[in-house]
Structure 1
Amino acid sequence: MRPRPGEVLHFSEDPAITVFRPHVAATARQSEAYVWAVDDVRAPDYWFPRQCPRAMAWTVPGTSETDRERVLGPGGGERVHAIEYGWVQRFLSVELFAYRLPTAPFRPFGEPVPHAHVAVEPVEPLGPAEPVGDLLELHREAGIQLRVLDNLWAFWDAVIDSTLGFSGIRLGNAAPRPQLPARS
């Protein structure tokens, strides 16, 4: 599910929101109250259950061929999303909804490349919540590789040490980072 021209999207497991009011998100790094939404490029970041930890990587103009092969892998396409096995059933069964919102009250948010759009005033959806549908199929149709791992941390470390674009969402909900073996 992607926004149409003149729209941004807000994804939620709540199908009954009638007005989005600015708030400070529990995971926010800033103190300002916002209504959060995403554009076409960042919509796939939210094709997940809300609390699902995910590590995502994609090619950008400066991506090296070495990093593409090392992180995305052969046949990996331009983008990969990774989740943990412990989240697969929730990923497959969640009822996720998208709200279409007008772009007018929103501005891009994030540096150096915006990762969201924010509004500082209440925003009414353009219509009722729309079911997003089968998240696995949505990934397939978009050409996004979905990788399922025991633990996200080794993948995340490789991603952030690469020339790929990346985003990590709800990583605090991921399984703990594996302990390194003790040195003898």
Structure 2
Amino acid sequence: MRPESGQVLHFSEDPSLTRFVPHLAATARQPGEYVWAVDWSRSPDYWFPRQCPRVMAWTISGTTDEDRERIIGPGCGVRVHAVEYGWLERMRTVELYAYRFDAGPFQQFGEDGEGRGIAMVATEPVVPLGPAERVGDLFELHERAGIALRVLPNLWSFWDAVTTSSLEWSGIRLRNALKRSVQ
């Protein structure tokens, strides 16, 4: 589930929304009220239940072969996502929806290591182009996109490896992850 040209997506477990109004997100680390959405490249970051902690990593122009093999894995493409075992059932059963928006009112927010936006934001109310679309099987989405999906007992060792590598990375809802293991 990705946006078409000239569109951005907002993912939600609520299929009844008809108008999105800028607000200060409860998890915001920056000031400002926004409607949040994502473009084609960042859509896979949201192929998860909303509260699911996840770590994602992907290659960029400066990624070393060693880091790609070590983090993503041999023959596993250019992107990997990781979740904890405790979220597998929720990933199987969640009813996730995508709202399509005209990209016109949205502007890039932040920047990754390749100069691409990490999100798209609107500062005015926006109305979806149509009703919410059911996203479908999250495992199948990952498979069709060629994204390796790793399931781990705990995300923190993987997070540490990813954030010290030459890959681009993102962590979402990590406050919901299990506590770090003491070794």
CA displacement at 1:142 relative to structure 2: 0.2
Q: Is 1:164 matched up with 2:155?
A: no
CA displacement at 1:66 relative to structure 2: 0.9
Instruction: Give the equivalent residue in structure 1 for 2:66.
Output: 66
Aligned 1:36-75 pairs, distance under 5 A: 36-75=36-75
Instruction: Give the equivalent residue in structure 1 for 2:16.
Output: 16
Instruction: Give the equivalent residue in structure 2 for 1:117.
Output: 120
3-state SS of 1:108 partner? strand
Amino acid paired to 1:31: P
Aligned 1:28-43 pairs, distance under 5 A: 28-43=28-43
2:147 to 140, 144, 148: 144
Q: Is 1:126 matched up with 2:129?
A: yes
How well do the aligned residues superpose, as a CA RMSD in angstroms? 0.7
- Alignment coverage as a number of residue pairs: 180
CA displacement at 1:179 relative to structure 2: 1.4
3-state SS of 1:2 partner? coil
1:178 to 167, 176, 181: 181
3-state SS of 1:14 partner? coil
CA displacement at 1:54 relative to structure 2: 0.2
Q: Percent identity?
A: 66
3-state SS of 2:51 partner? coil
Distance 2:177 2:47 in 1: 17
CA displacement at 1:155 relative to structure 2: 0.3
CA displacement at 1:70 relative to structure 2: 1.1
Structure 2 unaligned blocks of 5 or more: none
Structure 1 unaligned blocks of 5 or more: none
Amino acid paired to 1:150: P
Moved more, 163-172 or 69-78: 69-78
Instruction: Give the equivalent residue in structure 2 for 1:93.
Output: 93
CA displacement at 1:111 relative to structure 2: 2.9
Instruction: Give the equivalent residue in structure 2 for 1:83.
Output: 83
CA displacement at 1:76 relative to structure 2: 1.8
Distance 1:179 1:24 in 2: 35
3-state SS of 2:89 partner? helix
Instruction: Give the equivalent residue in structure 1 for 2:157.
Output: 154
CA displacement at 1:6 relative to structure 2: 1.0
Distance 2:135 2:3 in 1: 12
